[in-house]
Structure 1
């Protein structure tokens, strides 16, 4: 059992919190109320960022002391939305939210994952008819191993998990969010994920 704080209680955060609780972890969810994120992060070993990507950097940078020495799992994408509310561009072109977080939180290993799919797939990858892929980006091997174990708890098979390397590789997976609005317009709001066929 791992103590986990999920920052963000929307669809993504709630979905992850429920699944991780069912997997036997001790999970605390922090919403928008002042102080709840700090309290949750202070007592957790792993903190999951499921806050809106366009405000994540400011929110988490304010928790620098509480996040020191914790593993930060970043599942958000920082985008500029179009008129229809869907992602239209990247907030950090030439970089990524994960890189920005790692720079702002040098004593907190950041691991990027679960950001290349619609949220239901995060906790039920076997729901898809094709084998999905999930990616890891981060500098700390031990942190990535801990996150890999969480992914397995969420139903991801080892062969579906690809370690892309350092945190800089997160800019590639974050850019994949730009596929999402086009896929939704083409196929509707049905669960999907990126899959690497080999």
Structure 2
């Protein structure tokens, strides 16, 4: 059992909190208010960033002390939304939210994952007709191994998980969000994920 803080109580954070609790972890879900987030992060070994990506760096930088020595799993995407509310561009072209978080939190091990799919797939990967892929990006091999185990607890099989390398590889994973509005317009809000097929 791992003590996990999920920051963000929206659809993504709520879904992850419920699934990780069912998997046997001790989970504290907190909204993005500074006090609640700080208290949750202080108690946890692993913290999941499910806050809106546009404000994640500012929110989490304020928790630098509480996040010191912790693993931060970043599942958010930092995008500029179009008139329909769907992602229309990246806020950090040429970089990534994950890299900015790692720069702001040098004493925290940031791991990017689970941001290349609609949120129901994060906790039910076997529900799709074809196996999805969960990507890992981060500097710390031990942190990535801990996240790999969390993914397994959520139903991700080892062959469905691909370690892309260092935190800079999150640029590629985050760019996948640009598929999302087009796929939704073409096929509706049906769960899907980016997958590497070999």
Is 1:126–2:126 an aligned residue pair?
A: yes
Provide structure 1 residue ranges, at least 5 long, that are not aligned to the other structure: none
Judge conservation of contact 2:78–2:91 (CA < 8 Å) in 1.
yes
Which residue of structure 1 aligns with residue 107 of structure 2?
Answer: 107
SS at match of 1:148: helix
Equivalent position SS for 1:35:
helix
Match runs of 1:11-160 below 5 Å? 11-160=11-160
Question: By how many angstroms is 1:150 displaced?
Answer: 0.1
CA RMSD, 1 decimal? 0.5
SS in 1 for 2:184: helix
Post-superposition offset of 1:34: 3.7
1:7-29 deviations in Å (ceiling 9; x for gaps): 00000000000000000000000
Distance 2:120 2:160 in 1: 16
Shift of 1:187: 0.3
Question: In structure 1, what is the equivalent of residue 183 of structure 2?
Answer: 183
Q: How far did residue 32 of structure 1 move?
A: 3.2
In the alignment, the residues of structure 1 paired with residue 135 and residue 128 of structure 2 have an alpha-carbon distance, to the nearest angstrom, of 17
Give structure 2 stretches of 5+ with no counterpart. none
Equivalent residue of 1:192, what SS?
coil
1:147-196 C-alpha deviation (Å, 9 max, x unpaired): 00000000000000000000000000000000000000000000000111
**CA deviation after TM superposition for structure 1 residue 81, in Å:** 0.3
Structure 1 Cα separation of the partners of residues 61 and 33 of structure 2 = 17
